[in-house]
Amino acid sequence: MSVVVANPSASDDYFRFFGLNQQFNIDLPALDQAYLAIQKEVHPDRHARGSDSEQRIAMQMATLANTAFQTLKNPIQRGLYICQLHGVDAKLETNTAMPAAFLMKQMEWRESLDEQEEDLPTLEALMEEVEESKAETLVEITQAIDGAKNYQRAAELLRGLLFIDKFAVELDDTIAALI
């Protein structure tokens, strides 16, 4: 019994691995379907009677499928991965430079959260604004990657999205504590 995977030779490209087009605006149901098909194929129970080598390959494919799936499912990770495939490292640890307007917006949000942390309607309105900003940024990232193929711009937008996402989690926690 040998391990059959969608495209094991494409393990260096998660999109090819799942038989998907390399794009930011991904077909999530198709990703789920491809992932489940691979997991079913490489499930340890299917290879219990196989050789040690077959069992090891099945385990490696299952691990690869998990990593690839988690990467492609998350918009930020997917975007960073696409940039990386095209030789652009977002340098998240070292490059924190952001446009001034973006930083001003972040500071406004932060002040609003700090000053209004007990005011549920204000926080909910702020969450709407943050979610809107997140949605707009995702549209810009899609345009940068799938449209313009401008991976440098996409990396900048992804860094911004990380900030927005982190703030949204903090805001959500603050709102949850009030309810």
| Per-residue pLDDT tens digits for 23-38 | 999 999 999 999 999 9
- Report the chain's mean pLDDT, rounded to a whole number: 88
- Name the one residue in this structure whose structure tokens are 């709102």: 175
- pLDDT tens digit sequence for 66-85: 999 999 999 999 999 999 99
Q: pLDDT value at position 20?
A: 93
127 near 172, Cβ under 8 Å?
yes
- What integer is the mean pLDDT of 103-128? 92
- What integer is the mean pLDDT of 150-168? 94
> SS3 of 51, please?
coil
Q: pLDDT value at position 2?
A: 40
2 near 61, Cβ under 8 Å?
no
Residues 6+ apart with CB under 8 A from 175: 120, 123, 124, 127
- Better-scored residue on pLDDT, 159 or 52: 159
Is 132 exposed, middle or buried, given 0-12, 13-18 or 19+ CB atoms closer than 10 A?
A: exposed
Distances (CA, A) of 9 to 72, 152, 177: 18, 28, 48
DSSP state of 27: -
| Predicted TM-score of the model (pTM) | 0.83
Separation between Cα atoms, residue 139 and residue 148, nearest integer Å: 12
Q: pLDDT value at position 135?
A: 97
- What integer is the mean pLDDT of 135-141? 97
Residues 6+ apart with CB under 8 A from 144: 150, 151, 153, 154, 157
Residue spans of alpha helices (H) in 43-150:
52-73, 75-85, 100-115, 120-142
